[in-house]
Amino acid sequence: MRLSRISSTLAGAFFLVLASAADYDRSLSNLMVVLREVEGANKSDETLKASGPAKATIDGNVVEFSPAWFDFLGDMHVRFVFDAPSSMRGLTTEEFAAFHLTPEEGVKVAIANMERVYGPPVASAWSGGIMAVEGHSADLNSSYFLDRDFWVMLLKQHPEGIIVAAPKRGGLLYVPASDKKGVESLRRSIAMLFSTSGNQRVSSALYQFKDEHWSVFQPPVNARRPRLHGLDVRF
């Protein structure tokens, strides 16, 4: 997927953080990862595919830049970032390439860094059998979706599969697939949880982790088929 349209707000933010690159530790030990929405997308497999360059109009000029973003699954894509106490800065494809990692290897490194700094994911009861997953930074809770070791561990307890929702940056929920009431509750509530999350929203889909693989369990509410050539992406 080629991201041919993007908001000037996003572009401005991207270039602003690049301009202040000296304020960020750009070492591999500070690499982290976030999930963000791609409006209208519904990717059926979990392979990480480079999103491609993006274009923006700034002060009347069309500018192309190349962020380290990768289409992931459903209506989600992965962004590699450098962390700082009060903000994060997105990597360019050139910066990411300098680490000589595949996207999958980058995710593993980023999750390990995140757990070292913000703690491993912890599950606690949320509502009606549904569990919430959290770390010590709410803005990164949804990133634990990418922590494969965590889900593999849960799968040992629930080999029938796990149904997962990531409606917003600070919200990551799951329920065993065998819990029919819990699954139905997530089915009914995901659209509302997503739509009320404002600019913090991530995904309106439900996902299933089974046999150590991710798949789309319930499509995103905004999925469009066929896909448009240009997709809007939220910062």
The predicted-structure confidence for 61-77, as pLDDT tens digits, reads as follows 888 889 999 999 999 99
Query: For the chain, what are the domain ranges?
Result: 8-218
Average pLDDT in the chain: 87
pLDDT classification of 17: cutoffs 50, 70, 90: very low
Q: Buried b vs exposed e over 108-139: b needs ≥16 C-beta within 10 Å?
A: bbbbebbbeebeebeeeebeeebbbbbbebee
- Render 140-184 in DSSP notation, one character per residue: GGGGGGG-HHHHHHHHHH-TT-EEEEEEETTEEEEEETT-HHHHH
What's the confidence (pLDDT) of residue 191?
Answer: 96
Residue listed under structure tokens 């908001």: 7
pTM, two decimals, is 0.86
What's the confidence (pLDDT) of residue 224?
Answer: 58
